[in-house]
Structure 1
Amino acid sequence: MTVWDDLVGQRAVIDVLSRAAGGDGMTHAWLFTGPPGSGRSNAAVAFAAALQCERAGCGECHSCHTAMTGSHADITIVRTEQLSIGVKEVRAIVKRSALSPNGRRWQVIVVEDSDRLTDHAANALLKAIEEPNQRTVWLLCAPTVEDVLPTIRSRCRLVTLSTPVAADVAAFLERTAGVPPALAAHAARASQGHIGRAKALARDEDTRNRRAEVVRIPAGLTTLGACMTAASNLVEVTKQEAGSITSDLDAREKQDLNTAYGVAERGRRPREYAPALAAMEKDQKTRAKRRVLDVVDRSLMDLASVYRDAIALSAGARGDLINEEIRGDITQLVRRSSAEQHLVRIEAIFTAREQMLEFNVPPAIALESMMVALRLAGGPSR
């Protein structure tokens, strides 16, 4: 067992990072890029562990164990549940990066979602990367190099992860979680190479059922009324799923705040409690909004996979479809519309995605418009 074991289908990346951890090609700043679910954050954390390990990532020593569990004193992981990472948070991390490590090796700062840095935060980070501490290493993660300031990425060594193939993902699920082969194969295909999503699909029947409802939407978009109903149902299901994820965390945070200010013990609220509660509720509201967008985004990718399957089937591609379990529905889509029309539908899905993520359009409005576009793209039935 090594720190690299959870990096699925990334042999070239593992080779580069392993050699760097041993001193070959080491530098003070790295940028990990790759599509969602490719494991860029996992790769950064594994590399951080290898940098603290005397054997470049053995996976068995105390340094490796604490690094992989998030408790190593010289590894700081910056992640956010908010829509962005602000300058105040980055300045605190920059101040920490200037300190010497507690141990004999490196002070490692891992910044997940570097693409969420505000402009001021990115500029504060740039200065730290331009004038690095001799024993500090920055590991930044983002979907693409274009998501990071050019001045930052030009100072980083690039590590590009690819989407793992379904066979590798299925083998990983069987090996690490004991998932039966048939279920592992289904989860691997349905996740489209997203490791976290594959785990959720393999472990949770409710997650599989929710996805099954989403991928059956295209076959039912036969009238404008059906489009409105599909959009409304998708919004409702999304809110329920996002709420189930955040409600327990919100409750724990409220309880921790009450305990910290002695509300339960004293039976009254001190003066400082009200602004602290307001700040916490504001953060929770922002986090809930991001969670809704994340869940919607995943559903949109599932929808797009149906039309990708239709294009593949119409082109005579061999092998299993992403949504093999609804091959009958996809065959009907192929009979009703051309490959060009399915491409138009995929474009409509990505337009809705951009409206919500980039232009803050309410999901209900964006999804209604998208569902209608999916229906109209087919033209008259044939």
Structure 2
Amino acid sequence: MPGVWAEVVGQDAQIAQLRAAVDRPVAMTHAWLITGPPGSGRSHAARAFAAALQCKNGGCGECKACKTALTAAHADVTLLATEKVTIGIDEVRDLSMLAQRAPSEGRWRVIIIEDADRMTERTSNVLLKAIEEPPPRTVWLLCAPHAHDVSVTIRSRSRVVALRTPPADVVARLLVERDGVEPALAHECALAAQSHIGIARRLARDPKARARRDQVLALATEVRGVGDAVLAAADLVKVAEDDAAAATEERDAAEKAELLAVLGAETGTIPPALRAQVRELEEDQKRRATRHKRDVLDRAMTDLMSLYRDVAAVQLGADTELTNIAHEGRIRELAARTDLPGTMARIDALGTAKERLAANVHPLLAIEAMILALRPRN
């Protein structure tokens, strides 16, 4: 399936549904909810759909409309992708106003909201008003992990397209064909990422990313006592903090410099009348760093859960391919020295830690409790 859909892998039925809508503009649904687990390609599907809507040929992938829409550089394609914990109400208000305008050069005005599940109730109500009576040439594309992650009123006014986790062999093939990754490494990374395309690509391209993941999985066998657990928790949180700082520091400085330039306060003391705007930017940046740190820790727990699921599979004698094939020795060691109830208890402890982080429990406390639950009982 060529053209703009090339990056949307393992979703043939869902692509057919979106392409059918492109082919029948008179019956266009003006609000779409694209759902799917992390790594299923929600944002890729939304951008591809936006490009197909703008393309005169239904998504050829070669014309200016396709290329600009795929990168959200098209004048009539707007993308809201937050890196903060929640989407701001003012951001959605601005989009609602934009939605009332006719497209300036394209066939449709398309507004994409990634992470629509990060809207508060007040923000969702603002969006609801915008999608209840949309202008005839406006299309809203909302992305969320599950339909139940958005308000029931928004869900009832949207057409849901549910993506699935693509098979690991399909993700591996994408890494080989589009990124030039060696087949065995592509297969290993696709399994380790649990078919999350973005993570699989990062693991395949970055040896340091693979090394960091190996370090996380080592917690399952190298933590022996309370002292080890406390130190390991501190190390893991520090890694997440450093990762967040590295990912956001340069961008934060550029954003602040740009704001000061706009305000005419590039040098010297910031006038009192302008400090509130600078403070608001700094608060937004802190929220972005907090989300990044949470995401790093959440991924570490997801990786550990995949390891213990492999352990459980070995203990049950299941004839399935291991997710962590590069760690088969560690998996079999754990399977031999623990029993199935103990393995399931550790998986439950990881799930509890995820819930605690989502509930804003201090990361160090949540991780310490988690690692203590993983250590051997003998």
Aligned partner of 2:336 in structure 1 is 335
Which string of whole-angstrom CA distances, capped at 9 and with x for unpartnered residues, describes residues 325-378 of structure 1? 111111111112222321221111111111111x21011000111111223xx6
Give the whole-Å Cα distance in 1 for the aligned partners of 2:106 and 2:326.
Answer: 54
Q: CA offset at residue 201 of structure 1?
A: 0.6
Q: CA offset at residue 272 of structure 1?
A: 4.3
Q: Are residue 122 (structure 1) and residue 124 (structure 2) matched?
A: yes
Are the aligned partners of 1:82 and 1:283 in contact in 2 as well (CA < 8 Å)? yes
Q: Are residue 288 (structure 1) and residue 289 (structure 2) matched?
A: yes
**Secondary structure in 1 matching 2:7:** coil
**Secondary structure in 2 matching 1:244:** helix
Which string of whole-angstrom CA distances, capped at 9 and with x for unpartnered residues, describes residues 213-237 of structure 1? 0011111232222222221211111
Which string of whole-angstrom CA distances, capped at 9 and with x for unpartnered residues, describes residues 294-322 of structure 1? 11111110111110110111222335311
Q: Are residue 84 (structure 1) and residue 86 (structure 2) matched?
A: yes
AA partner of residue 314 (structure 2) = L
**Secondary structure in 2 matching 1:81:** coil
Q: CA offset at residue 271 of structure 1?
A: 4.8
Aligned partner of 1:18 in structure 2 is 19
User: In the superposition, relative to structure 1, how do residues 174 and 122 fare at CA in structure 2: closer, same or farther (>3 Å)?
Assistant: same
Aligned partner of 2:367 in structure 1 is 367
Give the whole-Å Cα distance in 1 for the aligned partners of 2:117 and 2:24.
Answer: 28
Stretch moving more, 339-348 or 93-102 = 339-348
Q: CA offset at residue 63 of structure 1?
A: 0.8
Stretch moving more, 309-318 or 68-77 = 309-318
Aligned partner of 1:154 in structure 2 is 156
Q: CA offset at residue 270 of structure 1?
A: 4.5
Are the aligned partners of 1:51 and 1:57 in contact in 2 as well (CA < 8 Å)? yes
Give the 5 Å matches for 1:128-277: 128-264=130-266, 269-277=270-278
AA partner of residue 219 (structure 1) = T
Aligned partner of 1:278 in structure 2 is 279
The alignment of Structure 1 onto Structure 2 pairs a total of residues equal to 376
Give the whole-Å Cα distance in 1 for the aligned partners of 2:135 and 2:348.
Answer: 46
User: In the superposition, relative to structure 1, how do residues 318 and 127 fare at CA in structure 2: closer, same or farther (>3 Å)?
Assistant: same
Which of residues 16, 40, 43 in structure 2 aligns to 1:41?
43
AA partner of residue 8 (structure 2) = L
Give the whole-Å Cα distance in 1 for the aligned partners of 2:12 and 2:314.
Answer: 31
Give the whole-Å Cα distance in 2 for the aligned partners of 1:91 and 1:254.
Answer: 24
Are the aligned partners of 2:76 and 2:106 in contact in 1 as well (CA < 8 Å)? no
TM-score by length of 1: 0.94
Give the whole-Å Cα distance in 1 for the aligned partners of 2:221 and 2:268.
Answer: 57
Give the whole-Å Cα distance in 2 for the aligned partners of 1:329 and 1:226.
Answer: 18
AA partner of residue 183 (structure 1) = L
Give the whole-Å Cα distance in 2 for the aligned partners of 1:132 and 1:177.
Answer: 40
AA partner of residue 339 (structure 1) = L
Give the whole-Å Cα distance in 2 for the aligned partners of 1:272 and 1:191.
Answer: 48
Stretch moving more, 28-37 or 311-320 = 311-320
Give the whole-Å Cα distance in 1 for the aligned partners of 2:189 and 2:262.
Answer: 42
**Secondary structure in 2 matching 1:303:** helix
TM-score by length of 2: 0.95
Where in structure 1 are there 5+ consecutive unaligned residues?
none
Give the whole-Å Cα distance in 1 for the aligned partners of 2:43 and 2:335.
Answer: 38
Give the whole-Å Cα distance in 2 for the aligned partners of 1:6 and 1:132.
Answer: 29
Q: Please provide the CA RMSD for this pair.
A: 1.6
Are the aligned partners of 1:261 and 1:269 in contact in 2 as well (CA < 8 Å)? no
Stretch moving more, 101-110 or 315-324 = 315-324
AA partner of residue 162 (structure 2) = T
Aligned partner of 1:111 in structure 2 is 113
Give the whole-Å Cα distance in 2 for the aligned partners of 1:164 and 1:352.
Answer: 27
AA partner of residue 327 (structure 2) = I
Aligned partner of 1:95 in structure 2 is 97
Q: CA offset at residue 275 of structure 1?
A: 2.4
**Secondary structure in 2 matching 1:365:** helix
Which string of whole-angstrom CA distances, capped at 9 and with x for unpartnered residues, describes residues 74-93 of structure 1? 11111111111122211111
Give the whole-Å Cα distance in 1 for the aligned partners of 2:106 and 2:245.
Answer: 44
AA partner of residue 374 (structure 2) = L
Which string of whole-angstrom CA distances, capped at 9 and with x for unpartnered residues, describes residues 276-310 of structure 1? 22111111111111110011111110111110110
Which string of whole-angstrom CA distances, capped at 9 and with x for unpartnered residues, describes residues 250-288 of structure 1? 121122233333444x65644544222211111111111
Give the whole-Å Cα distance in 1 for the aligned partners of 2:249 and 2:45.
Answer: 30
Q: CA offset at residue 187 of structure 1?
A: 1.3
